[in-house]
Amino acid sequence: MALHSRTVLGVVSAFFLAACASGGSASGQDETRGVVPDLRGRTVLVLPTQLRDRVPNGVTIDEEVAYALGARSDAIDWVFPEEVESILRRSPGIQAHTRSLPVEMFLQAEVKRVGDPLYGEIRRLTTLAGADIAIIPVLLRYGDDGAYHMVATLLEPVTGRVLWFATVDGAAGAPEEPGPLASVADALAKAVAWGR
């Protein structure tokens, strides 16, 4: 576990150093790729945030994301992590995980399509949830600018195709305060639930 944590930290650090060295923003503002489809009338699996960088212990974002998405559009059938984890507890024979997914690839290169093992995990989870789209909040980072930034992606689970990848930026504030977390969650909701 300690080795895995060091590896993730190294990947995250390398990603942000590379962004700065290439002239890009560490917040990833120039890293938006793809297009978010109109999600109204669709079932969308929302996974927990997978990686954290410079986020204080005890600070959680997933509840803020669920609130922001639900508030932005009730025309989308959102399936949040708690619901999927409840299904998994009732189905011990199904091997699938919502956390600690192998998402580091998104911080290393442009990903157009995911393969196994991530593909298999997403396919099983979306099948369980009856979802045809998956949102993965890949990384939550507290930046040098005093704001939270979230790297996120939308996947088509049947094909593994990456529909959209971007970094969304929150408002500045102390990392323990609820306002900065709520603002980055709202930025994600605004980006993906644009049809409201």
DSSP the chain: -HHHHHHHHHHHHHHHHHHHHTT--TT-TT--EE-PPP-TT-EEEEPPP-EEESPPTT---HHHHHHHHHHH-SSSEEE-HHHHHHHHHH-TT----SSS---GGGGTS--SB--TTHHHHHHHHHHHHT-SEEEEEEEEEE-TTSEEEEEEEEEETTTTEEEEEEEEEEEE--TTSHHHHHHHHHHHHHHH-TT-
- Using 50, 70 and 90 to split pLDDT, how confident is the model at 140? very high
Lowest mean pLDDT across 23-32, 123-132, 153-162: 23-32
Per-residue pLDDT, averaged over 153-182, amounts to: 97
Q: What is the pLDDT of residues 142-165, one digit of tens each?
A: 999 999 999 999 999 999 999 999
What pTM, to 2 d.p., does this model score?
0.84
Q: What is the pLDDT of residue 195?
A: 59
Q: State the CATH class of domain 2-192.
A: alpha beta
Give the integer Cα–Cα distance in Å for 59 and 62.
10
